[in-house]
Amino acid sequence: MSVIFILIFLSLIVAVVFLYLFYRAVKSGQYDDTYTPSVRILFDDKKPDGPKREKKKSKKEKPNSSKT
Amino acid sequence: MLTEGSEKVQEKTICYHCGDDCEETPIQFEDRSFCCHGCKTVYEILNENDLCNYYDLEKNPGSSLRDKPDSDEYAFLDNNEIRNKLVDFASDTVCKVTFQIPKIHCSSCIWLLENLTRLNEHINASQVNFVKKEANITFDPGKISLRQVAELLALIGYAPNISLESYDKRDAKNSNRSLLIKIGIAGFCFGNIMLFSFPEYLGFEESYDLDFQRFFSYLNIVLALPVFFYSGSDYLVSAYKGLRRKFINIDVPIALGMVVLLARSIYEVFSEVGTGYFDSLAGLVFFLLIGKWFQSKTYENMSFERDYKAYFPLAITKIIGGKRKNVPINELKEDDEIMVRNGEIIPADSILISERSNIDYSFVTGEANPVTKAGGEYIFAGGRQVGESIRLLVKKEVSQSYLTRLWNNEIFNKQEISMTKRLIDVISQYFTIVILAIAAISGIYWAIYDPSKMWLAVTAVLIVACPCALALAVPFTSGSVQRVFGKLHCYLRGSDIVEQMMHIDAIVFDKTGTLTEIRDGQVEYVGKPLSQEEKMLLKKIVSSSIHPFSTKITDYLSQTKESKRVFKRFEEIPGKGIEAVIENTRVKLGSSKFVTGDDPGLNFLASYVFISIDDDVKGYFQMKSKYKEGLKQLIDKLKEKYTLMLLSGDNASEKNTLLKFFPANTTMLFEQKPADKLEFIKRLQKDGKKVMMLGDGLNDAGALKQSDVGIAVTEDTTSFTPACDAILEGSKLNRLFDLLSFIGISRKIVIAGFIISFLYNVIGLSFAVSGNLTPVLAAILMPLSSISVVAFATLTVNHLAKRRKLI
């Protein structure tokens, strides 16, 4: 049964690690703005790389040309 | 084909960028219509940089750019001293700055502002805080200047707001962070202590369990200490402060309970008579902190502490030896020469050098119409120049100006001590005395009959009677009410305002901007019909003048074309009107005395512009300031319960109109200076009234601060509001009565919460005085009472708000 002493210490240490992580998260400002990240995560990660750009432009030209 | 262009089929053409009505002449570009060139430019920029995703996220997300900013608006950012004060961090290659951007309003805004780096490669990163409406921008100061960054933002429709306030104090408040950490630690300890106490509740039977019992108890002590000394420190300090001022606040019984809990528990562990009440202690602190957190919800994007510094600009153009230089307004000295452009605010009391100026004091004095000043006249700070640039000679430093001196009044320096004692503090005084009495009586009883149980009973009384539930009733009710109000666009500075609103018995209104809508003054023409030719002449005259009445009439005549004939004479006489000769026609426009020669006594309505053409009086334009919708119904309801009063900085011309809204015996004072308003409120308070003040401008700032509850009424919550207790959106003024009556209900909910917690106390005390309070009982009873009070308060507030159709 004495193994419980060790186990409890271990569990406490693990819990303290999480407490410390929480502390660091608060100090680094993660809880200062709880709204913006919820919007930000929905944005597409489109990087302005070459091929995509051309593709988009050609898409836009289509309606133009069909109208004229 | 269905493209965005199909919107044109509708009667109104909507601007693709900002969603405004394009009116008659939409600007076409790539199949899309725009209301103005500003909007088109933004679209072009975004299109070029492949940022049109902006338009996919939300429909018409932009802000109208019809009022194009001045090209020199941000020139002051080139001044090194100002720049250094504004930036958060600066080195040769990296510079970080936080801009306040009021225009941030949707997810498209966030997206665009966070992709600034694609617009300009020298901007390295940008991050938006949507709630605070701030953008944190990192850029390379060697390649792009702070001014250019600000101008880029302005160009795409997100003009940063840089006022004197942002210059003076740049400290972020982190009190919320420390509360979170306190809650985290209390929660952590609470959870672990419960875990370690659990075996005790089930009961130790075997002899070897004793080691465990001792081991768990010592662990509990270690875990309870940070809860007591760190998480609970606020309560101990507050109780100590209260006692030193010989005042029993609610924190006194809480602190008493905490101390007794800890002392008794440590004693039990070391003398090996029991395991203590550590779980109750940690739970108590944890729940109290949760209550505090719930109550501390504030509207971060709104400022309730603003003074003139947020209203004044950061810098002004100073003229030194004929050259213009941007200087911070703090550095203005007597006899400096400055230039104020159209729309800029006059920063200091000064003398006008230019020939003439029109100054809009509506925000400072409540006067609806701009004041015309002639060269050499003394001008008070705070007015907004309308029309062309003027030159001024500074006579007083900014902080010594007439307007800013109002803030030297003691009321602005006094720490806010609420006039009304908090309900909970009143109750806690009696509560503490009663509890101490019960503890003493049961102590004496046991001392006589069974001395071994005396301390057990005394400490048990103090432990179980700890007013945790009592202390939670108010914060949770007020916090919920604050949230309900927020949904109705009435934003309270803190939830304690709810309690202060319960005692109000007098309401004082400001007129301009509070009861009236400034923008929509209706113009009406009364008199002989005007021919097309005459209208064209009038349009020509009024569009040559920048007097606001002229602007209004110009708008009124928007369908008419301007006459092509030429002026022979054009004279604008300040305070009177305009006299113009166009070819052979002589036209006079202005006050009735100026045009007709006598006063017809049309005093029941606001303002008139009379017209005569070749000495034939045609009639007049009538401009009445429009009162807010639903005002009559609101006043009718309010007058039953409250004493109503009106203070206005404007003249008494509207008195008769106002009497149609207000009961006949209403006190109405006109031409009130800011200091007069403050004094008036003070006098009311001396007569024992609890005053609520509703105002909007800087001239109300003193009165708002002095009153028991000061509510700033504003059209746009992002614009400037003076220091106040609450901010109410102008369009919701008609709900004021509903809000106030809901406050009355919330008072009843608080009292019901008190009764519930008293019932728990009676149950707990009956165990305590009989000496039967076991740790497990305390650990069940105390959280249960807290939770039921919290649940009752929040659920009832929300339920009743729904039933009254408030949310």
Question: Model confidence over B681-707: pLDDT tens digits?
Answer: 999 999 988 999 998 877 788 888 888
The residue-averaged pLDDT of B625-633 equals 78
Mark B192-208 as b/e (b = at least 16 C-beta within 10 Å).
bbbbbbeebeeeeeeee
B687 to B273, B409, B505, B680: CA distances (angstroms): 61, 21, 12, 11
- How many CA atoms lie within 13 Å of B506's alpha carbon, on the beta-carbon side? 19
Q: Where are the beta strands (DSSP E) in B45-161?
A: 89-90, 95-100, 123-129, 134-139
CA B615 to centroid of chain Cα atoms: 52
B373/B392 Cα distance (integer angstroms): 12
Tens digits of residue pLDDT in B348-357: 888 998 888 8
pLDDT value of residue B692: 93
B529/B550 Cα distance (integer angstroms): 19
* Residue B213, token pair as written in the block: 């019992």
Contact B76, B329 (CB under 8 A): no
Grouping H, G, I as helix, E, B as strand and the rest as coil, residue B710 is: strand
pLDDT value of residue B366: 62
Sheet arrangement for strand B337-340: B323-328, B315-320, B337-340, B390-394, B350-352, B378-379
Please judge whether A32 and B53 are an interchain contact, meaning their C-beta atoms are less than 8 angstroms apart.
no
Which of A51-60, B21-30, B247-256, B456-465 has the lowest average pLDDT? A51-60
The nearest alpha carbon in chain B to A15 belongs to: B188
* Residue B287, token pair as written in the block: 């729940």
pLDDT value of residue B8: 42
* Residue B569, token pair as written in the block: 């004479």
* Residue B124 pLDDT > 70: yes
* Residue B186 pLDDT > 90: yes
pLDDT value of residue B5: 43
B276/B218 Cα distance (integer angstroms): 10
pLDDT value of residue B587: 86
Residues of B with CB under 8 A from a CB of A: 1, 3, 30-31, 49-50, 52-53, 57, 107, 110-111, 114, 118, 127-132, 176-177, 180-181, 184-185, 188, 192, 196, 208, 212, 215, 219
B28/B37 Cα distance (integer angstroms): 10
CA distance A55 to chain B (A): 11
Q: Where are the beta strands (DSSP E) in B544-650?
A: 567-573, 577-582, 585-590, 607-613, 616-627, 643-647
CA B296 to centroid of chain Cα atoms: 15
Domains of chain B, start order: 4-57 (no CATH), 75-162 (3.30.70.100), 175-296+419-476+745-803 (no CATH), 308-412 (2.70.150.10), 518-627 (3.40.1110.10)
How big, in percent rounded to 5, are the helix, strand and coil portions of chain B?
50, 20, 35
Phi and psi (nearest 5°) for B593? -65, -40
Highest mean pLDDT among B225-234, B512-521, B619-628, B763-772: B225-234
Contact B98, B135 (CB under 8 A): yes
Q: Which of B459, B466, B385, B475 is nearest to B422 (CA)?
A: B475
The residue-averaged pLDDT of B435-439 equals 91
DSSP-derived letter for residue B228 is I
B567/B583 Cα distance (integer angstroms): 7
The nearest alpha carbon in chain B to A31 belongs to: B177
pLDDT value of residue B23: 66
Please judge whether B130 and A39 are an interchain contact, meaning their C-beta atoms are less than 8 angstroms apart.
yes
* Residue B25 pLDDT > 90: no
The beta-carbon neighbor of B3 closest among A35, A56, A63 is A63
B287/B294 Cα distance (integer angstroms): 11
* Residue B288 pLDDT > 80: yes
* Residue B320 pLDDT > 60: yes
Please judge whether A33 and B129 are an interchain contact, meaning their C-beta atoms are less than 8 angstroms apart.
yes
Please judge whether A33 and B132 are an interchain contact, meaning their C-beta atoms are less than 8 angstroms apart.
yes
The beta-carbon neighbor of A23 closest among B50, B184, B192 is B184
B325 sits in which H/E element? strand B323-328
CA B628 to centroid of chain Cα atoms: 20
A22/B184 Cα distance (integer angstroms): 8
Give B181's contacts in chain A (Cβ within 8 Å). Answer: 22-23, 26-27
pLDDT value of residue A60: 40
How high does pLDDT run on average in chain B? 82
* Residue B625 pLDDT > 80: no
Please judge whether A63 and B1 are an interchain contact, meaning their C-beta atoms are less than 8 angstroms apart.
yes
* Residue A67 pLDDT > 50: no
- Give the pLDDT band of residue B548 (cuts 50, 70, 90): low
Which of B15-19, B520-524, B647-651, B748-752 has the lowest average pLDDT? B520-524
The residue-averaged pLDDT of B203-215 equals 71
Give B219's contacts in chain A (Cβ within 8 Å). Answer: 8, 12
Which of A26-35, B554-563, B629-638 has the lowest average pLDDT? B554-563
Q: Tally Cβ neighbours within 10 Å of residue B32.
A: 21
Residues of A with CB under 8 A from a CB of B: 1, 4-5, 8, 12, 15, 19, 22-23, 26-27, 29, 31-36, 39-40, 42-44, 46, 48, 53, 56, 60, 63-64, 66-67
Please judge whether A19 and B181 are an interchain contact, meaning their C-beta atoms are less than 8 angstroms apart.
no
pLDDT value of residue B157: 82
Q: Tally Cβ neighbours within 10 Å of residue B50.
A: 16
Please judge whether B110 and A4 are an interchain contact, meaning their C-beta atoms are less than 8 angstroms apart.
no
- Amino acid identity of residue B161, one-letter, is N
The residue-averaged pLDDT of B533-547 equals 79
B166 sits in which H/E element? helix B164-168
pLDDT value of residue B445: 92
B501/B744 Cα distance (integer angstroms): 9
Please judge whether B50 and A44 are an interchain contact, meaning their C-beta atoms are less than 8 angstroms apart.
no
- Amino acid identity of residue B166, one-letter, is S
The residue-averaged pLDDT of B42-63 equals 80
The residue-averaged pLDDT of B422-433 equals 83
Highest mean pLDDT among A28-42, B584-598, B755-769: B755-769
The residue-averaged pLDDT of B746-765 equals 90
Tens digits of residue pLDDT in B657-672: 788 888 888 888 888 8
* Residue B603 pLDDT > 50: no
Contact B461, B438 (CB under 8 A): yes
B414 to B565, B705, B706: CA distances (angstroms): 63, 10, 10
pLDDT more than 90, % of chain B: 14
pLDDT more than 70, % of chain B: 88
The residue-averaged pLDDT of B280-297 equals 87
Contact B114, A40 (CB under 8 A): yes
The residue-averaged pLDDT of B598-625 equals 72
pLDDT value of residue B654: 73
Give A67's contacts in chain B (Cβ within 8 Å). Answer: 1, 31
B423/B500 Cα distance (integer angstroms): 10
* Residue B519 pLDDT > 80: no
B315 to B165, B166, B167, B327: CA distances (angstroms): 12, 12, 10, 5
Please judge whether A36 and B1 are an interchain contact, meaning their C-beta atoms are less than 8 angstroms apart.
no
Mutation test of the interface with chain B: which of A6, A13, A17, A19, choosing the one with the most B Cβ atoms within 10 A? A19
Give B118's contacts in chain A (Cβ within 8 Å). Answer: 48
CA distance A39 to chain B (A): 6
The nearest alpha carbon in chain B to A57 belongs to: B50
Tens digits of residue pLDDT in B377-420: 888 888 888 878 888 899 888 877 777 777 766 666 655 544 44
Q: For strand B643-647 and strand B506-510, is the pairing parallel, antiparallel, or unpaired?
A: parallel
Q: Tally Cβ neighbours within 10 Å of residue B173.
A: 8
- Give the pLDDT band of residue B228 (cuts 50, 70, 90): very high
* Residue A53 pLDDT > 80: no
B671 sits in which H/E element? none
| DSSP per residue, B329-351 | GGG--TT-EEEE-TTPBP-S-EE
Tens digits of residue pLDDT in A19-45: 999 999 998 888 888 888 888 888 876
* Residue A56 pLDDT > 50: no
